[in-house]
Amino acid sequence: MSGRRSFIKKSAFTIAGSLLAGVNADGRGQRFLKIKNVSDEDAFWKEVRKQFPLTHARTYFNNGTIGPSPYPVLEAVRLKMEELNALGEYKGQEDSRKPLADFINVPFHEISLTHNTTEGINIIAAGLPLKRGDEVIMTSHEHAGNALPWLNQKKLKGFKIRIFTPADTADESLNLINDLITDRTRVIAVPHITCTTGHLLPVRQIADLAHDKGIWVFYDGAHAAGSIALDLKKIGCDFYASCGHKWLLGPSGTGFLYVREEMFDIVQTEFIGAYSDTGWEISEERQTLSGYVPDAHRYDYGTQSAALSNGLKAAVAFMNEIGMPLVESYSRGMATLLRNNLANLDGDLEILTPEEEISRSTMVTFRLPDMHYRDFGELASENKFRIRLVPESKLNAIRISTHIYNNKDEIDRFTSLVAKVIRR
Ligand SMILES: Cc1ncc(COP(=O)(O)O)c(C=O)c1O
């Protein structure tokens, strides 16, 4: 079978229709997903790129910080804002919950809608019954969003945090975790994919190891939802937090927290409000809270943005239209291409992202021993690349993120820039 035909088979290849419904009233609809019978894989991804208002004036390699939204997402937010303000209503904040739950393969009642990853992490770190003498295992490569909630609870409750540094292979990382486990370990709270070096940890094996010993497992999934096909039931963790605004390409101000059903009454709700409760009364006679709703919605409270929820729903639909296996293989392919290019350069360069395929995904981090990382950052910016510097864990490195809007030409141009620098 020719390369083209096998691609068509793989991707279904005709993307049209459903995302357009209702979003093209102002004539800009031609720019929305309308990819029909394009002739080959290159043409397909060029059409995908056209869905993004993302400027062509520079190359965007910083999806790991913030993902640019495509037109269908922007339109979904705008239309919902208009609709609600026309009607004076506020309904719709729930609308992303079901598509999101399906997207990560968990039941509707195990998903709480948050505003970002950090909020979900705080709910778990604060809600678990941890005390002095308990131990939590984390990495030395945490983002502030995972580090601070646990450090804060450590300060308040006096438990201990034990640290490992993600290793080059999944087996080694697993062994390091195993070595840290004691009979006081209560939680393993690590990133699914690290923000520093893009290490993808062996989440299924970590969950199995932990559960064998009665330890709870929390994953900071900021970099996984929308970059890899995510199936939380297969991973088997107890809690998982992520956001809409990175790899899902949804709006900022959206996120989710997965809590396994059996944990609802173990994770105390530190904050509650409208929609969290099963009934309450506050009067001169009675001051009662009868209980919490019997699902993860107990961790949501108050009014949220229906417009952003609609945007997140559109982001999930956009990903589903292309198909997560294809999104993942393309974005990973771009990162692999970059990693291979860098590895083949002549000159001094240290790649920090593991070589082992199962231990990396859509980010590549490297260091230039002969150039300060901030100087390289300036040079990259002058050459119209938006990259991310990695000062975390004193790595002083450079991180490149790749997603569906990037292409081989961008990877090659960036490789040439690095090649020039290390040949100086
Ligand atoms: C690994 C990791 N965890 C947590 C966060 C915080 O995410 P949010 O801004 O959604 O709270 C980030 C943000 O970059 C991150 O990279």
Q: What is the pLDDT of residues 204-223, one digit of tens each?
A: 999 999 999 999 999 999 99
**pLDDT band for position 41 (50/70/90)?**
confident
Concatenating the DSSP letter of every residue in 72-127 gives HHHHHHHHHHHHHHHHT--TTTTTTHHHHHHHTT--GGGEEEESSHHHHHHHHHHH
**pLDDT band for position 27 (50/70/90)?**
very low
The response to whether residue 196 sits with its C-beta less than 6 Å from ligand 1 reads no
For ligand 1, the distance from its centroid to the CA atom of residue 259, given in whole angstroms, is 18
pLDDT at 91: 87
Q: Does the pLDDT at position 199 exceed 90?
A: yes
For ligand 1, the distance from its centroid to the CA atom of residue 261, given in whole angstroms, is 24
**pLDDT band for position 37 (50/70/90)?**
low
Of 202, 208, 182, whose CA–CA distance to 190 is shortest? Answer: 202
- Token duo for residue 229: 């096909």
Atom from ligand 1 closest to the CA of residue 194: 1
Q: Does the pLDDT at position 5 exceed 90?
A: no
The response to whether residue 116 sits with its C-beta less than 6 Å from ligand 1 reads yes
pLDDT at 170: 98
Sign of CA dihedral 322, 325, 326, 329: positive
The response to whether residue 122 sits with its C-beta less than 6 Å from ligand 1 reads no
262/114 Cα distance (integer angstroms): 20
Q: Give the residue-averaged pLDDT of 230-255.
A: 98
Task: Specify the amino acid at residue 419.
Answer: A
Percent of the chain with pLDDT over 90: 87
Q: What is the pLDDT of residues 156-180, one digit of tens each?
A: 999 999 999 999 999 999 999 999 9
Range of lowest pLDDT (26-30, 89-93, 291-295): 26-30
pLDDT at 125: 98
Candidate from 140, 199, 220 with most ligand 1 atoms within 8 A of CB, to mutate: 220
For ligand 1, the distance from its centroid to the CA atom of residue 84, given in whole angstroms, is 30
Candidate from 62, 115, 118, 399 with most ligand 1 atoms within 8 A of CB, to mutate: 118
Q: What residue spans define the domains of the chain?
A: 97-317
Q: Does the pLDDT at position 30 exceed 50?
A: no
pLDDT at 43: 87
* Average model confidence (pLDDT) across the chain: 92
**pLDDT band for position 33 (50/70/90)?**
low
The response to whether residue 139 sits with its C-beta less than 6 Å from ligand 1 reads no
Closest C-alpha residue for ligand 1 atom 5: 145
In Å, what is the CA distance from 30 to each residue of 52, 249, 315? 12, 20, 18
For ligand 1, the distance from its centroid to the CA atom of residue 191, given in whole angstroms, is 10
Closest C-alpha residue for ligand 1 atom 7: 117
For ligand 1, the distance from its centroid to the CA atom of residue 143, given in whole angstroms, is 6
pLDDT at 40: 82
- Determine phi and psi for 214, rounding to 5 degrees: 70, 30
The span from the first CA to the last CA of the chain, in angstroms, equals 46
Q: What is the pLDDT of residues 307-357, one digit of tens each?
A: 999 999 999 999 999 999 999 999 999 999 999 999 999 989 999 999 999
- Token duo for residue 382: 């002058």
pLDDT at 34: 53
124/149 Cα distance (integer angstroms): 9
For ligand 1, the distance from its centroid to the CA atom of residue 227, given in whole angstroms, is 14
Q: What is the CATH number of domain 97-317?
A: 3.40.640.10
b/e 220-244 (16+ beta carbons within 10 angstroms → b):
bbbbbbbbbbbebeebbbbbbbbbb
The response to whether residue 255 sits with its C-beta less than 6 Å from ligand 1 reads yes
For ligand 1, the distance from its centroid to the CA atom of residue 137, given in whole angstroms, is 18
Q: Does the pLDDT at position 18 exceed 50?
A: no
pLDDT at 20: 38
Closest C-alpha residue for ligand 1 atom 14: 65
Q: What does the DSSP 8-state code read for residue 132?
A: T
The response to whether residue 141 sits with its C-beta less than 6 Å from ligand 1 reads no
Of 185, 223, 260, 221, whose CA–CA distance to 365 is shortest? Answer: 223
For residue 257, what are the contacts with CB-CB under 8 A and spacing of at least 6?
111, 112, 114, 119, 120, 123, 124, 239, 240, 241, 296, 299
Atom from ligand 1 closest to the CA of residue 119: 11
